[in-house]
Structure 1
Amino acid sequence: MTQPPPAARFRTRLRRIFLIIPLIAPAWVAWPAAAQDDERPRWYNDTYDEKTFLIYGVPFSDYVAMGFECTPGAQVVKLYLSAENSGARPNETLPIRLQAGGRHIQFSATGLENQDSGGADFHADLPLDDTLRHMLGAGGDLDITIKGHTEHYPLAGVAGPAATLLAACDAPKPADGSAQ
C-alpha cells in the first residue's frame, strides 16, 4: 500500500483540525468566563450546627456582603450586613432600610467593628413575616440603604437558596429544644 505524498497527509490533518475546532472552541472560550463566575458574588447556602444561612458573597472565600441566618422553628431571621461603603462607623446607631419587590423593612442597628476593613458591620433580628418572605423571592435588586448610601444586591439566583433558608426556618424546632 502506498502512502499519499506528505503534502496530502498534511492537508488531511489540517482538515481534521478545522473540523474539530468548532467542537472544542465553545468550551475553550467559556472556560475563562466560568472561572471568572466563580469569583463573582452570588447567593448560596451554608449550614453550621442547626443554623442555615443564605449568603450573598463568593463561596469558599472571605468575601461575604450579607447573610441571613435561621434555626428550625425560628420566628426571626438574623441579618449580618457588611457596610464598608456606607461611611458607617463602629458604635454608631443608624436606621437601615431593606427594599425589594415593592416592599421594605426599616430598623435601627448599632455598627460593630469589622476587623478586616475597619468599617462597620451590622447585625439585626428581622421578623420572619410575609414582607421578608416576599422580598427574598422578589426579582430585581435588594436595595440596602445606610446613612444615605444605597447598595444594590441582585436577586438573580436567590430563589433556590432562599427557599432552603425558609424551609429551615419553617422546620419544627427539635424536640430536645437544642435550637434557639
Structure 2
Amino acid sequence: MARVLYLLACAAPPVQHIDRPIRLAQERGWDVCLGMTPTAAEWTEQRLPELARLTGHPVRVAHRTPGKGLDWPPADVTIVAPATLNTINAAALGLTPTWVTAFVCEAVGKRWPVVLLPCVNSAFATHPQFGRSVDVLRAAGVRVLLGPGGFEPNPPGQGKPEEFPWHLAIDTA
C-alpha cells in the first residue's frame, strides 16, 4: 500500500506548477492528496478537476462539514508548500483562518510529521514576526526548509516560480 502524502499549497506563484510536486511524489511511490488555501484554489480554479484526476482524490479547500465522512486516507506526512508569510505566521500563532492553517495547527498538536517549504520574498523574510514564527514552528517539530539547503528568499519581484525547489520537500518527506 502506498504511503500517503498531504500536499497543502498556499497562494504563492509556484502554485501554478503544483502538478510538478504531485508527479514527483507519485514517481516516488506516494499517494498524494492535495489541499489548498482558498486563494490558491482561486488561482488554479481552471485546473482543479485535472488536479483531482491526477491525485485520484478531491482537492480540499475548506473544512469538512460536520458529520461528513473523511474523503482522504490518513497521511503519513504533510508538506506545506509553497508556504506564504500569512500561513506561516498564522500556524505559528495558532490561528486558523483557512483549512490549511487549521490542519497545520492540529498536526503540530498531535505531533504529526510536517515539512514546510516557505515561499516568501526577502522583504517578507525580514519581518520580525516571520523569524519568530519559523522558530516557533521548528521548536514544535515542524521541519521548516529555510536557509542554506532549503528555500532562500529572493528580492521582491525577482522570484522564479518555475524553479521553486519542490524536490527539497519531497526528499525530506
Q: If the TM-score is normalised by the length of the shorter chain, which range does it land in?
A: under 0.3
Q: Taking structure 2 as the reference length, what is the TM-score of the superposition?
A: 0.23
More helix by share: 2
Q: TM-score, normalised to structure 1's length?
A: 0.23
- Which has the higher Rg, Structure 1 or Structure 2? 1
Identify the structure with the greater strand proportion: 1
